[in-house]
Structures are given as structure tokens and as C-alpha cells.
Structure 1
Amino acid sequence: MITLRKLFVLLAGIAALSATPAQPQTVGVMDKPCAGLPGAPADVAAYLAQRAAALGRHVSIAPPTAETLKRYTAWQAVLRESDFAALCRYQAENALLPAAGHHRVVFFGDSITELWRLNAPELFTNDVIGRGISGQTTEQMLIRFRADVIDLKPEAVHILAGTNDIAGNTGATSLPWVEANIQTMVEIAKAHGIKVILAAVPPAARFSWHPELKPAATIMAYNRWLRHYAARQRITFADYQAILDDGHGGFAASLTGDGVHPNASGYALMTQQARRAMARARAKQTLARSRNRALSVSMTPTG
């Protein structure tokens, strides 16, 4: 039996709930987890747009102000906490893609791949798709490998990853850990019948955001492992270290603006190398299909 007092308390509670606006859910399982992600602060968005336009024109712009950089860093920290692997980054773009053709290639990586689309848009035509995200490490890329590679059903994937692991963007790591992430991506791709082009990361003698690190020797060791692993797996290897190196483990000054990312000239060389790698990967596939057909014919009973 509900007494008058209990009824009053119940009605007061309902009134309080009605007066308090519902707070949007930001954690846990949701139907649309990407809907609640914060957009870039206005000054950050404006600077990123200016930077993208400048890259497209192959010109440089002044670095962001200290306040803009502070707000960018805070915004990125929130995004990493809410969407560690940046699964939301290409979700809408992926949904709008047409069905994959027979020669779709996904270029998968970090900022070097992301900026490639701006510096060499002619490469990203005829179903060649860029899926790079600035600052990402291989552990983040592994999480989004299904959404941004497997689900797009490409013929081949070009994997260029590891620079930000060496820079410590998501904390301390080791080369065996980074290599394990690469191996897992390659194995997943091969299990889905996707050809792999494994790329050496560009050289770097210094990271401006972690100037205490001396990455040149680590990058060279990592690239040696990538080359040997690609050979063992019989997959195509694209050696960008060889064409961008200054001879001492650093980035050739004429091919970069910051010692880490290629400039227009650097991307032009990388584009030539990438086209050759894609042609080699397709040739391998054609040869494998010819061998399989020949084997099938030889095993067919006669008479």
C-alpha cells in the first residue's frame, strides 16, 4: 500500500528526473559510438585546414601558436581515450565507397600515408584508397585493420607502419612487439586472400616531438627485419629507406621539410616506387594463378 508520504517522494523523484536533462552516454556499448566524439576546437580546425591546403600547394606555413597546439594536444588526448584506434575516422567514408573492383589497393599507415593523398593525388585514383592516420602506432592500426582494410575487400594492401612506435607515441615498446603487430596484419590479410606490399619506413635521425630519441639505428634495424620478413613470406617489399636516406640514416634534406615526412619531391620518388611495387605484386598474383591453372590441367584425368 502506497502511503501519501511515499507517493509524494515518488512524484518528487519523477519531477526531478524530468527537470534534469539526460546526459549523453560516452562510455560502454552504444549503437553509434562515433556520434559522441568531440569535434576539433575552432582554431585547431582552421589551422588543420590551412595546413592541408598548404600541403596541396607544396608550400609551408608557420607552426601553430602555443595555445592552438595546447588545444590540439588536449583534443587528441580525448579522442585517444574515446576512440583509441580511430575507428570513427574513416567510418563514413568507408560506407560511401562503391563495391570493390578487381584492382583495389588500400594504402594503410600513419601520417606519411595520410599526407600522401594530398601530395600525390594522382596515385589515389582507379580504386587506390588512402587510409592513413597521423600519429598512429602499429597497435592502433591492428585494431582498425578489419574496418579500414579487410572490409573494403581490396586486391592488395600497402602497409607502411612503425615510425610512431619508434617515436613512442603510445608509450614504451620493443621491436619484437612492433614486428608482431606487422606479422599479425600480414597473416590476417593473407587469410583473406589479400596480397601484401610491405614497406620500409622512411629514415629519420630525429623526431621533433621527442628530440631526446636517436632513431636512425633503430629504423635501419627495423627495416632490415621488414625486408627479411617480406622475403620469407614471399610478399612484395617497397624499400623507401633506400631512396630517401641521406647516407647516414637520416632523411635526405632535399626530400623532406621536417626530417620525418617527405616533401613533394620525396613523395614523387615514393609514388614511383609504390607503382613498381603494385606492378610486382600483381605480376606475382598472375604467375601464381597461371601455375595453379597449369597444375589443375596436369592433374585432370585423360581418356
Structure 2
Amino acid sequence: MKNFLLLASFCFFLHQGSILAQDWAQLGVFREVNKKISMTSSTERVVFFGNSITIGWLHTMPSFFEDRPFINRGIGGQTTPQMLVRFRQDVLDLHPKVVIILAGTNDIAGNTGPMTLDDILGNLKSMSELAKANNIEVILCSVLPASDYPWRPGLEPDKKIPALNAMIKEYTEQASLHFLDYYTAMVNDINGMDKDLAYDGVHPTKAGYEIMAPLALEAIAKAIKTAN
């Protein structure tokens, strides 16, 4: 029985790996639904672009996205190189007024291989430059706190995330972009998040998103004002 379970697990991960090998950036996730969105530019359309924290917002607090011109394009587990590959399809081609990018924690976790902080920032810069070249206002978010990753312990995100956030903030100031600081509002005394804000120390609960929501709305309002 034990050997059977091991074989079944191996086959599952082999299958998943095969899928990712054929669509590494997961362009297929939103390809069809994107076709149903009007390609005309919206005066206030905003794309939320990110990983599981972004798509989790839609699932955990759907009311935030109701009756607003917000489009959620988060994919669980993604890293910045994957996001950069799908940036044209899932952001540029939707012609938003603003893109709000929240990414980097999965890079630190090594989800698609080793990444330096400079690598992560470089991908965020590339996405930002593509957006600006297409007259889209950019909001770069601080990475949310994490004292450790339950699925890959020992990678010191409690040290790396604050360092990356400082780099992101500095870049937004240099490039005249908007910086959205979730980190300061959610961090605890061990550079993580309490369980009431993140059930596993990484992914926000409804209470966590309720802290993020007004901060996002304020940043979006400023970005739209800048664009106009």
C-alpha cells in the first residue's frame, strides 16, 4: 500500500510537471476569459496582478471586487518570471488605467528555482516599464510579511522580505511609480503575520484583506488622479 501511494504521488507530480513544462507561465488560465472582456480602455479599470495572495482576495473577500472596474489576475504559486511572461496577455491587452502588482514571496521561496532579490526587482522593473510604455499607471506593492514558509522552512523570508521591500520602495521613488505598503500595516514582532491576519503565516484571512482593502483603494485613487 505504501509503495502504491508513493507511486501515485510520483505520477501526480510528474503530470503536474508535464503541464507546467508545456505552459510554464500558465497563459491558459485566463486566456479564454480575457476574450470576454471589452478591449476598449476603461477610465478606471484596474488589474490586480499577482499570485495566490491576489487570487485569494477574490475568493475570500469577493465583495471587494463587486461593482468596481477591478479585474483579478492572480495565479497561485507564481513567481515574477512567470508573471512577466503573461504580463502582455493578462495586463497590457486588457487596457487598464492602473495595474497593481503584488509579487515576490514565491521567488524568495524558490518556487521556480533560486532567485536573488536583484532578480526579483529586475522582473518587477520590466513589468513596470512595459506598463508605463502603454500608458498604464503602476502600483508596486510591498511583499506581505512572512517569518517562514510552511512548505519550505529555513529560507529566512523574515530578513529577505524587508530587504526586498526597501528595494521596491526605492525603485518606485526613482521611477515615479506608486508604492503600496501592506507590510507595515500587517507585520508582527517576528517579521511575520499573526494567525488572525494570515492562517498559515503567509496567506491573508478575511481580516487580513480587510486591512489591505482601504490601502489599495487609496493607492488606486491616487494612481487614477495621476493618470488623469
By the TM > 0.5 criterion, same fold? yes
Residue 175 of structure 2 is matched in structure 1 by 233
Change (3 A) 1:203 1:213: same
Structure 1 partner of 2:17: 77
Is the 1:246–1:253 contact (alpha carbons within 8 Å) kept by the matching residues of 2?
Answer: no
Q: Which one of the candidate residues 91, 116, 120 is aligned to 1:149?
A: 91
The within-5 A match list for 1:34-113 is 73-99=13-39, 100-113=41-54
TM-score (structure 1 length as normaliser): 0.70
- Does residue 58 of structure 2 align to residue 117 of structure 1? yes
Q: What aligned pairs does 1:223-262 form with structure 2 within 5 A after superposition?
A: 223-262=165-204
1:1-303 matches, cutoff 5 A:
73-99=13-39, 100-125=41-66, 126-286=68-228
Q: CA deviation at 1:197?
A: 0.7
What's the CA shift for 1:215? 1.1
Distance 2:177 2:9 in 1: 40
Partner AA of 1:93 in structure 2? V
Partners of 1:260 and 1:151 in 2: CA distance: 30
SS in 1 for 2:201: coil
Residue deviations 1:97-147, cap 9 Å, x none? 124421110000000001111122122232200000011100000000000
TM-score under structure 2 normalisation? 0.92
Q: How far has the Cα of 1:267 moved from its partner?
A: 0.7
Q: Please tell me the residue identity of whatever aligns with 1:110.
A: N
Q: 1:272, CA displacement in angstroms?
A: 1.3
Q: Tell me how large the CA RMSD over aligned residues is.
A: 1.8
Deviation (angstroms), 1:243 = 1.0
- Contact 1:103/1:155 (8 A) holds in 2: yes
- Any idea what SS the aligned residue of 2:47 has? strand
Instruction: Give the number of equivalent residue pairs.
Output: 222
Partners of 1:68 and 1:104 in 2: CA distance: 44
Structure 1: distance between partners of 2:220 and 2:159? 28
Q: Which amino acid aligns with 2:25?
A: A
In 1, Cα distance between equivalents of 2:122 and 2:176:
17
* Structure index of larger Rg: 1
Give a deviation string over 1:167-200, Cα, whole Å, max 9, x none: 0001111111111101000000000000001100
**Once the two structures are superposed, what CA deviation does each residue of 1:233-262 show, in whole Å capped at 9, x if it has no partner?**
111111010111013211123201001100
